[in-house]
């Protein structure tokens, strides 16, 4: 109604929501860095999100509003400063075609990923959560950079996944016999790259 008390209530609720979001971002970034440290990783690969809102060509106004509320930059900044305390670097990787490319056979097709977010390769049949597949591709892009463009200290490297490790050649090793990449429910927002 525009009254002073209504404005005070809105201000109080706004502050509560901001504190909740910041707390959530701190928790997520801390867990990612702790996992990287647990696996003795030297890099965390994240998707380069520059101009992501402009790249979204969705005409739905509600989706556009939701995109402007996502805290991409804040999460990556928190991740970077927390990782630096452990001597871990955060590398931004161009996201081109990571959600359409199979992390097993490298087949790329726009029909590999369905609208519900599930990924199923048209070539080899590999089926997994689409975000998980894209995160693996982001990590693999970092591992397979040409010699002159690779960050120092990367070496031959491998990806540390919750279910096992993946090297630049695509060879997967499960942490134990019962762990399987196909059955994994991991949904990382980033890929952690080991030494």
How do residues 39-89 score in pLDDT, each as one tens digit?
A: 888 888 888 877 666 656 556 676 666 655 667 788 889 999 999 999 998
Give the H or E element holding residue 26.
Answer: helix 4-38
pTM here?
A: 0.68
- Interior/surface letters 62-72, b for 16+ CB within 10 angstroms, e for the rest: eeeeeeeeeee
């Amino acid at each position: 109604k525009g009254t002073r008390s209504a404005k005070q209530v809105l201000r109080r609720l706004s502050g509560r929501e901001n504190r909740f979001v910041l707390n959530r971002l701190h928790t997520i970034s801390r867990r990612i860095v702790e996992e990287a440290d647990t696996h003795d990783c030297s890099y965390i690969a994240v998707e380069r999100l520059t101009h992501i809102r402009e790249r979204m060509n969705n005409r739905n106004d509600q989706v556009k509003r939701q995109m402007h509320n996502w805290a991409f930059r804040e999460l990556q900044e928190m991740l970077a400063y927390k990782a630096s305390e452990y001597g871990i670097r955060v590398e931004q990787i161009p996201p081109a075609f990571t959600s359409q490319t199979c992390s097993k056979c490298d087949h790329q097709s726009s029909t590999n990923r369905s609208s519900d977010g599930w990924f199923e390769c048209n070539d080899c049949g590999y089926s997994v959560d689409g975000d998980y597949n894209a995160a693996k591709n982001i990590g693999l892009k970092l591992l397979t950079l040409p010699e002159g463009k690779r960050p120092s200290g990367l070496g031959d490297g491998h990806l540390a996944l919750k279910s096992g490790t993946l090297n630049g050649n695509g060879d997967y090793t499960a942490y134990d016999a019962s762990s399987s990449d196909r059955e994994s429910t991991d949904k990382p927002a980033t890929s952690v790259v080991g030494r």
